[in-house]
Amino acid sequence: MESSKRVLISECELFIGKEVVLKGWVKKIRQLGKVGFLLLRDRTGLLQCVLEQEQNQVKIETESVVQVTGILVKTDKTANGVELQVSEILVLAEADLLPFEINKKKLNVGLDHLLNHRVLSLRHEQINAIFTIQSMFVKGFTDFLMQEGFTRIFTPKIVSQGAEGGANVFTFNYFDKSAYLAQSPQFYKQMMVGAGFERVFEIAPVYRAEEHNSSRHLNEYISLDVEIGFIENVEEVMEMEERVLQYVFQYVKEHCQKQLDELQVDIPVWNEIPKMTLAEAQAILKEIYQKDSPEGDLNTEGEKCIGNYVKDKYGSDFVFITNYPRATRPMYTMPNKENPELTDSFDLLYKGSEITSGGQRIHRKGELIASFQEKGLNPNEFKAYIDSFAYAIPPHGGFGIGLERIMMKFLNLGNIREASAFPRDCDRLIP
Amino acid sequence: MESSKRVLISECELFIGKEVVLKGWVKKIRQLGKVGFLLLRDRTGLLQCVLEQEQNQVKIETESVVQVTGILVKTDKTANGVELQVSEILVLAEADLLPFEINKKKLNVGLDHLLNHRVLSLRHEQINAIFTIQSMFVKGFTDFLMQEGFTRIFTPKIVSQGAEGGANVFTFNYFDKSAYLAQSPQFYKQMMVGAGFERVFEIAPVYRAEEHNSSRHLNEYISLDVEIGFIENVEEVMEMEERVLQYVFQYVKEHCQKQLDELQVDIPVWNEIPKMTLAEAQAILKEIYQKDSPEGDLNTEGEKCIGNYVKDKYGSDFVFITNYPRATRPMYTMPNKENPELTDSFDLLYKGSEITSGGQRIHRKGELIASFQEKGLNPNEFKAYIDSFAYAIPPHGGFGIGLERIMMKFLNLGNIREASAFPRDCDRLIP
């Protein structure tokens, strides 16, 4: 039976009474007395395999890869009502001694150890579920935006001009030039709006050379970036983000109920995300929580309190914080018409943690140059970006969502590293 | 009418007799005598707008962004049978003097000049079409694979161990360590197969520090990577690639007929991609074309001749070249069972140019270590990768498609830079 077509565990109920070939990993094996039990795991689920006679003599280590042939029979002893009476078992790849037991419901293993042995730890149902959900989350994001007329773009991560923040970049020699890794696709997504695509999105890594390790920062992460041309105002940008998220969470629920159950998580449901200005949020922090905020921003503690506040007051996991001052927003941010000290910008908090920055951008070249100069930046260092506004770019705005950050909050993970298959922090480059 | 809901040009036929607001770029404007004509372009198409009286006095530069209000009327003078009688026109963003005329059917502008002014050149219908098609191509790729049970993965581009080729890498300081930019997600996609996902794909940039400029290489490009667990043989990998491509091209045809027409391109159609071993291909080159090949490979000229050969003989744009020798394939490639000097590997040529490398991989740790050693490589330098095979990884194989390369061949572009919005080569880091 070596080359018969493999049946997936999720399909087994359709083959009761039939001889089938299954392939997967040995999650557990008990070979006691006359009968042995092998719990087989493939990407679709678990199946009990019954070993008798010589099949019960085969020596197999847990987590080895096997091919089992046998007849599927009905049983009332397993959850899916079926088990395999094994007639042949082949070991396709043997596992060595494992660094920790992976077949427990709850792993009692430190995060570093899990990350060091990532291929093993990712096999645990609760860890595996994170990345299955992540994959569907990104699929939902893609599907929604393309239905809405967005074009998926690919922009360079090797760049030379105009680091947004100026610091926190990884630099390297690019042939005879100096280059760095892009902190965001900000300039390029704006340029692609202006290039006639109007509505664009990108799903790609971004890089921040931040020297501190924290439980909510990575040095390389995936940014879900959206930019929308021909907007009337920044509210349209927030509305689009709200619609994207509604769709994506619903999509995950439809495709990953098993994984959500595994993680004991449900999707957030809301009617309309509440909005408050930064000034209002800071006043709430002062009055209700006796907390001072940094000039023109919220700190981690403040985000957490505001998260609790909107949860109590509006039952919402989300809140838009709007109208950040010009002093704390990037030079391309559109000033507010009524109060030009403020901007048409926003952050989105989810469960008390920032997952998005967004806003309307300046789209006229003269205003853009003036804004760079007001920030003390030399427009010549951003020439390629600024020059593109000479070809006329429509009013536009957008946002970026940190994929690992939103997954961490959604799935109630304690550390953002849990939301990255192979996280990169100041210390970790391996595996 | 400043804030009325925008109607797209593609929707205009539904609004005949109605007053609408349109927004877009001024592709052409002729203001002569009593009546003027403005050709408006948005992301969905072109519309003729008729200017009379004071609307015909407004001074507007070509490629400016405008908002026009007016009544849609039937006409037999335009292709879509409708034009706009303008009652109001607002300039939302003004274009400066342009570096070249963009509104011609055929641009007579050098590639460097086009790339230097990318936001402008991308507005040309034929250039724009490339990236609309690219976006749909990637969407089709994603949809097909997820229907087939693949998980989309995200793996790090900042890596430290085991450059596949050893050379041609961009290196940089990562805090107190030395790191480099990933040449491919090869090791990581294999690890994700072994981590229980079985079938994975990634769409992400890869980096090659190759010092020569050519018309078919980029230093940063998008790799469409696929890896499949529990295969029986390398033929399954080729079959999967063939099915992916069939689906993707069909998907592009369904969603981008207008763009394909613009570029005067049709999708390739085939029943089964012909296969020949490398030895057969080299013999054909020797006998029919009197051409020598490099040891264990084809050169550019050879690929071109074999492309012509299969086109003439089988009517096929594609051909799989199989069974490359171990000497010219990477250390993780599965040796052929019958002839262990050869490997279970393949390249896919499309119109005489390599677009894919693929193969079955070694999945047993002992064999993998031996293969590294035979290649003169130190397994300790690949420890994290090799160690993951201790947890048992199923038989697997996969392939990678260079996105810009396949788009270049598909759309008959003369230079791979035309298939990248913002290409990176040895000289170009801007825009």
What is the rounded distance in angstroms from the CA atom of residue A320 to the CA atom of residue A234? 12
* CA–CA separation, A127 and A104 (whole Å): 12
Contacts of A418 in chain B (CB under 8 A): none
Contact status, residue A397 vs residue A347, Cβ threshold 8 Å: no
Q: Looking at chain B from residue 292 to 311, which residues have their Cβ under 8 Å from any Cβ of chain A? A: none
The yes-or-no answer on residue B64 being catalytic is no
What CATH number is given to the structural domain containing B31? Answer: 2.40.50.140
Q: Do B58 and B86 contact (CB within 8 A), yes or no?
A: no
Q: CA–CA distance from A317 to each of A251, A306, A312, A353, B345 (Å)?
A: 18, 10, 10, 10, 50
Domain containing A63 equals 9-93
SS3 state at A27? strand
pLDDT digit string, tens, across residues A293-352: 999 999 999 999 999 999 999 999 999 999 999 999 999 999 999 999 999 999 999 999
Determine the pLDDT at residue A162. Answer: 64
Instruction: Please tell me whether residues B258 and B390 are part of one structural domain.
Output: yes
The token pair at B251 is: 């998907």
A165: contact with B, CB 8 A cutoff: no
CB–CB of B150/B224 below 8 Å? no
Cβ pair B29, B38 in contact under 8 A? yes
Nearest to B154 among A120, A177, A421 (CB): A421
Q: Are B358 and B348 in contact (CB under 8 A)?
A: yes
Indicate whether A2 belongs to any domain.
no
A429 falls within a domain: no
- Domain boundary (A59, A93, A127) is at A93
Active site residues of A: 208, 210, 216-217, 354, 357, 405
Q: Is pLDDT of A70 > 70? A: yes
pLDDT tens for the 431 residues of chain B, in order: 445 689 999 999 999 999 999 999 999 999 888 899 999 999 999 999 999 988 888 899 999 999 999 999 999 988 889 999 999 999 999 999 999 999 999 999 999 999 999 999 999 999 999 999 999 999 999 999 999 999 999 999 999 976 665 678 999 999 999 999 999 999 999 999 999 999 999 999 999 999 888 999 999 999 999 999 999 999 999 999 999 999 999 999 999 999 999 999 999 999 999 999 999 999 999 999 999 999 999 999 999 999 999 999 999 999 999 999 999 999 999 999 999 999 999 999 999 999 999 999 999 999 999 999 999 999 999 999 999 999 999 999 999 999 999 999 999 999 999 999 999 999 999 99
Would you call A153 and B146 a contact, using CB atoms and an 8 Å cutoff?
Answer: no
Q: With 0-12 CB in 10 A as exposed, 13-18 as middle and 19+ as buried, what is B85?
A: middle
Q: Given the cut 0.85, state whether the ipTM is greater than it.
A: yes
Q: Do A43 and B146 touch (CB under 8 A)?
A: no
Q: What pLDDT score was predicted for residue B181?
A: 96
Is the CB of A1 inside 8 Å of chain B's CB atoms? no
d(CA B349, CA B322): 11
pLDDT for the residue numbered B265: 98
Catalytic residue among B41, B124, B199, B208: B208
One domain for residues B88 and B128 = no
pLDDT band at A88 (very low <50, low <70, confident <90, very high): very high
The alpha-carbon gap from A296 to the nearest alpha carbon of chain B, in Å, equals: 30
A424 to chain B, any CB pair closer than 8 A? The answer is: yes
Contact A123 B188 (CB under 8 A): no
Distance from CA of A42 to the nearest CA of B (A): 7
**Lookup: tokens for A48:** 């009990």
The pLDDT assigned to A33 comes to 84
Same domain, B313 and B173: yes
Chain B residues within 8 A of A114 when measuring between CB atoms: none
| Mean pLDDT, range A110-126, rounded to an integer | 97
Cβ-based contacts of A209 with chain B (< 8 Å)? 175
Confidence grade of residue A32 (pLDDT, cut at 50, 70, 90): confident
The CATH number given to whatever domain includes residue A219 is 3.30.930.10
A251-255, A380-384, A419-423: lowest mean pLDDT where? A380-384
3-state secondary structure B385-425: HHHHHHHCCCCEEEEEEEHHHHHHHHCCCCCHHHHCCCCCC
Does residue A1 lie within any of the structural domains?
no
Residues in Cβ contact with A273 at an 8 Å cutoff, skipping those fewer than 6 apart: A238, A242, A316, A318, A319, A320, A348
Which regions of A6-104 does DSSP assign to beta strands (E)? 19-32, 35-42, 45-52, 65-74, 82-93
In this prediction, residue A125 has a pLDDT band, given cuts at 50, 70 and 90, of very high
Mean pLDDT of A286-294: 96
- The verdict on a CB contact (< 8 Å) between B135 and A151 is yes
- Peptide bond preceding B423 in cis form (omega within 30 of 0): no
Q: How many CB pairs (< 8 A) connect A and B?
A: 266
Rounded to an integer, what distance in angstroms lies between the CA atom of residue B337 and that of residue B335? 6
Q: In this structure, is residue A36 part of a structural domain?
A: yes
Specify the number of domains making up chain B.
Answer: 2
pLDDT at B31: 86
| Residue of chain A nearest B145, judged by CA positions | A139
Distance CA A362, CA A396 (A): 8
Please indicate, yes or no, if residue B105 is contained in any of the structural domains.
Answer: no
**How many helices (DSSP H) and strands (DSSP E) are in chain A?**
11, 16
Nearest Cβ partner for A123 among B196, B389, B395: B196
Q: What are phi and psi of A50, to 5 degrees?
A: -100, 125
Q: How far apart are CA B165 and CA A250, in angstroms?
A: 43
Report the amino acid identity of residue A339: N
Looking at the complex, does the CB of residue B112 fall below 8 Å from at least one CB of chain A?
Answer: no
Residue A56 lies in a domain: yes
Using a CB–CB cutoff of 8 Å, tell me whether A43 touches chain B. Answer: yes
By the CB < 8 Å criterion, does B191 face chain A?
yes
SS3 A119: helix
Tell me: do A183 and A37 sit in the same domain: no
B-facing residues of A in 204-243 (CB < 8 A) are: 204-205, 207, 209, 211, 219-220, 222, 230, 232
Q: Which amino acid is at B114?
A: L
Length of chain A: 431
B159/A428 Cα distance (integer angstroms): 10
Do A24 and A145 sit in the same domain of this protein?
no
If asked whether residues A135 and A68 sit together in one domain, one would say no
Closest by alpha carbon to A68, among A45, A44, A84, A52? A84
Query: DSSP of A364-410, one letter per residue?
Result: SHHHHHHHHHHTT--GGGGHHHHHGGGG---SEEEEEEEHHHHHHHH
| Percent of chain A with pLDDT strictly greater than 90 | 91
Q: Is residue B109 part of a domain?
A: no
Claim to verify: residue B328 and residue B197 sit in the same structural domain = yes
**Chain B: residue whose CA lies nearest to A155:** B422
Whether residue A38 is found in the same domain as residue A129:
no
Residues B54 and B190 both lie in one domain: no
Q: B158 vs A207: CB contact, 8 Å cut-off?
A: yes
Instruction: Kindly state whether B122 is in contact with chain A, defined as any CB-CB distance less than 8 angstroms.
Output: yes
Same domain for A221 and A321, yes or no, is yes
Does the beta carbon of A313 lie under 8 angstroms from any beta carbon of chain B? no
Is B395's CB within 8 Å of A220's CB? no
**Nearest CB neighbour to B119, from listed A128, A391, A423:** A391
Q: How confident is the model at residue A2 (pLDDT cuts 50, 70, 90)?
A: very low
Contact flag A158-B403 (C-beta cutoff 8 Å): no
Point out the domain boundary residue: A41, A75, A93.
A93
Same domain, A167 and A300: yes
pLDDT above 70 covers a percentage of chain A that reads 98
Query: Do A82 and A187 share a domain, yes or no?
Result: no
Last residue of a domain, one of A30, A58, A93: A93
CA dihedral angle for residue B154, residue B157, residue B162, residue B167, rounded to 10 degrees: 140
- Residue B429 located in a structural domain: no
Q: Which of A65, A177, A194 sits opposite B119 (nearest CB)?
A: A194
Q: What is the pLDDT of residues A211-247, one digit of tens each?
A: 888 999 999 999 999 999 999 999 999 999 999 999 9
Bridge partners of B70, per DSSP, are B20, B86
Q: Nearest CA to B95 among B144, B55, B61, B137?
A: B61
